[in-house]
Amino acid sequence: MRPRATSMARGRVHSPVMQEPYAPIPRALAELALGQAAQAGASIPQLDLLRARLYSPPPASGDLVERASAVASALGIGDAWRKIESARFTFIDLFAGIGGMRLGAELAGGRCLQSVEWDAACQATYHQNFGETPDGDITTMKPRSKRFKAHDLLLAGFPCQAFSIAGRKGGFEDTRGTLFRDVAEVIAAKKPAAFILENVKGLVLHDKRRTLPVILNTLIGSAVKYHLVAPSLDAKLSARGWAVLNALDFGVPQHRERIFIVGFRDKKAADRFAFPTPTTPGDARRTLQDILEDGPSWNTSVDARHFISDKYLTGLKRHRAHHESKGQGFGYEIRSHDGHANAVVVGGMGRERNLVQAQKPAAAGTEELLKSARNDSGVRRMTPREWARLQGFPEWFQPHPTDTHGYKQFGNAVAVPVVNAVVEEVLRALEGTYGR
C-alpha cells in the first residue's frame, strides 16, 4: 500500500507522490553509501551486511534494516543512509540520454519512476547501468495524462530547436512541432511540484534571442501555469527562470556552461528557490590530474588506441598553423595536467581540443591495435572513462563498449554534480515536503 501522503509546505500545495515503501533503493545512492563505508574502513562483513540491505529484493526484513542502520551510524555515513531510509521524492527523466540527470537526482534521494530516450545506443547504456530500458519516442506517448506516471519532479534535457513566432506572441502555440512542446504538455498534464530543464548555454542567444523567451512564456502561460524562479546570480548568467552554471564550479575539472530552467507549481516555493553557488570556487577546483587514468590518482596505463598517430598529429599541427595565420583560434589543444578540460562535445574538434600528454607508456599488448605508428611525443586523447569522470559519473557506471558511442554519449551528457546541486536547492525550496 502507498503510505499516507504528507502535506507540502504549509499545506498550500498538493501532496507529493511518496515512494512505495517496498521500492528498490536507487543504485547511485546505494553505491555512494558503499563507497563511503569502504573509505571509513568498513570490514568485509560490514560491507556484506550493507550490500545485503541495499540490494536485497524489497521489502527488507526489519532485523536487516536495523543492523545495517547501526553499522552505517557506527561508520559515520549517516547522511547518505538517511536519504536511503527516507522517502524523499520521485521524478521522471525525459530525454534521458545515459542517465546523467537521473544520477544527480538519485544522489539527492530521489527515485526514478519513468525515463524516456529514443536513441537505441543510449537505451543500451542506460539499461546496462540502471536495469531499465527507457520508453522511446516521446511524441507518440499520448494522452500525456495516462502515458506518464505521477511524479514530484520532472527532469528534461530537451534538444534546442527554433520556433515559428512570426506574427504571434511567443507562447505555447508557437512551440508546435518541437520537442519542448512535448515537455510542456507533460508538465501541464501531470503537474509535478517542480521541473528542471537543461540545455546548452547557446539557448540564451539561439535564433536571435527568440527561442528562450518562447520557452519561458510557455511555462508561465495559461496552458502550463508554473512559476519561474527569481534571478539569484550574476545578471549576465541569470534571469527570471534560468541561470547558466559551470561544471568547473561543482567539483569536476571541465569548463562546461549549461543553462538550467527551474519552475514550481507553488509561487512561494519559487520565491524561496536560489540557484546553487559554486561548491569548488577558485583554488579549490579539481584538475585533470585528478581524473587521468595514467596520473597519480589512478596510476594505470592507457590502451595504445588512444594515442594518436604521428601522421594525424602532423595534420593537426598544420591545421592549427593555417588558422593561426588567419588570426583564428581553431585547432587542437594539449591540456595541462594541472588545469582543466575544455567542454567535452560531440563532433568537430571535441576530442582534439582535449588532448593530454601521456604520463605512462601505452598498456602492454595493445600496440597491435594501431593502424599506423604512434606519435613519439606521447600525445593521446582522453579515454571514455576520463570523459565520464569529467562529467562526474561514478566509477561503477559502465560506458558503452564502443568508443565512438562512449564519446558521443558522455559528450552529450550533463555534469552530474551540477544537476545534484540544483535538485538539492529545489528540495530546499520545498522544505518540509519530503522528510527534510
244 beta partners: 259
The predicted pLDDT at position 86 comes to 73
Tell me the Cα Rg of the chain.
23
Provide the grid cell at 368: 597491435
Query: Which of helix, strand or coil describes residue 264?
Result: strand
Q: Which residue has the cell 544522489?
A: 107
- Positions marked active-site: 160
Provide the grid cell at 363: 598498456
The predicted pLDDT at position 16 comes to 54
The predicted pLDDT at position 210 comes to 81
More confident site: 40 or 1: 40
Tell me the domains of the chain and their CATH numbers.
22-85 (no CATH), 89-278+414-429 (3.40.50.150), 293-381 (no CATH)
Render pLDDT for 80-124 as a digit per residue (tens, 0 to 9). 788 887 767 999 999 999 999 999 999 999 999 999 999 999 999
Count of beta carbons in the 10 Å neighbourhood of residue 218: 25
Residue 222 has pLDDT above 80, yes or no: yes
Render pLDDT for 246-274 as a digit per residue (tens, 0 to 9). 999 999 999 999 999 999 999 999 999 99
How far, CA to CA in Å, does 36 sit from each of 41, 80, 101, 272, 432? 9, 9, 22, 32, 27
In degrees and rounded to multiples of 5, residue 258 shows phi and psi of: -140, 150
64 beta partners: none
Name the pTM for this structure. 0.88
What type of residue is 394? P
Render pLDDT for 185-204 as a digit per residue (tens, 0 to 9). 999 999 999 999 999 998 88
Q: Which residue has the cell 561508520?
A: 75
Render pLDDT for 368-393 as a digit per residue (tens, 0 to 9). 666 677 888 899 999 999 999 999 99
* pLDDT, mean over the chain: 86
Question: Cβ-count burial of 253 within 10 angstroms (0-12 exposed, 13-18 middle, 19+ buried)?
Answer: buried
Helix 62-75 × helix 44-55 angle, to 10°? 130
The predicted pLDDT at position 370 comes to 64
Q: Distance between CA 428 and CA 206 in Å, rounded?
A: 31
Residue 394 has pLDDT above 50, yes or no: yes
Helix 27-39 × helix 78-85 angle, to 10°? 150
The predicted pLDDT at position 162 comes to 55
Render pLDDT for 138-167 as a digit per residue (tens, 0 to 9). 999 999 999 999 999 999 998 775 544 443
Q: Which residue has the cell 528557490?
A: 273
Provide the grid cell at 196: 528542471
The predicted pLDDT at position 266 comes to 95
Render pLDDT for 321-338 as a digit per residue (tens, 0 to 9). 888 888 776 778 999 999
How far, CA to CA in Å, does 412 sit from each of 121, 147, 243, 354? 13, 26, 19, 16
Inter-residue contact 288 to 257 (CB < 8 Å): no
What lies within 8 Å, CB to CB, of 219 at 6+ separation is: 184, 187, 226, 228, 241, 261, 263
